[in-house]
Amino acid sequence: MNNKDEKKREILRALAAEFFSRESNRQSLITITNVEFYSRGNRAIILATVLPAEEETRAVEFMNRKLSDFREYVMENSRIARIPYFEARIDIGEKNRQRIDQIAKNE
């Protein structure tokens, strides 16, 4: 991954964190952990963790409903030339890492 892609990833991650924090109803804490690019940057997946875990499904549904608004937000608040189409998912890798940390602390 080159420096330009890494910079774009960080800009989109920061914008997503700001946008979803502002738009959420605060029933759950949505933390944007990463953005992954696919199809030559035409598609991006926003990865997030949600607390409490019981609210994950509702939070992802909320995020996916707001993606067209988020895309407009990115157009208005960044200088990225080609804005990808977005999808939201739970960051399974981060959940697994947290679980491993929890197991390691208990030993």
What residue numbers bound the domain in which 99 lies?
3-106
d(CA 68, CA 52): 25
CATH code for the domain of 57: 3.30.300.20
Note the pLDDT tens digit of each residue in 33-76. 999 998 888 999 999 999 998 999 999 999 999 999 999 999 99
Number of domains in the chain: 1
Are the beta carbons of 88 and 61 closer than 8 angstroms?
no
Are the beta carbons of 35 and 84 closer than 8 angstroms?
no
Residue found under tokens 């992802």: 60
Instruction: Say what the pTM is.
Output: 0.87
Determine the pLDDT at residue 27: 86
Q: Give the orientation angle of helix 56-65 with respect to helix 67-77, to 10 degrees.
A: 60
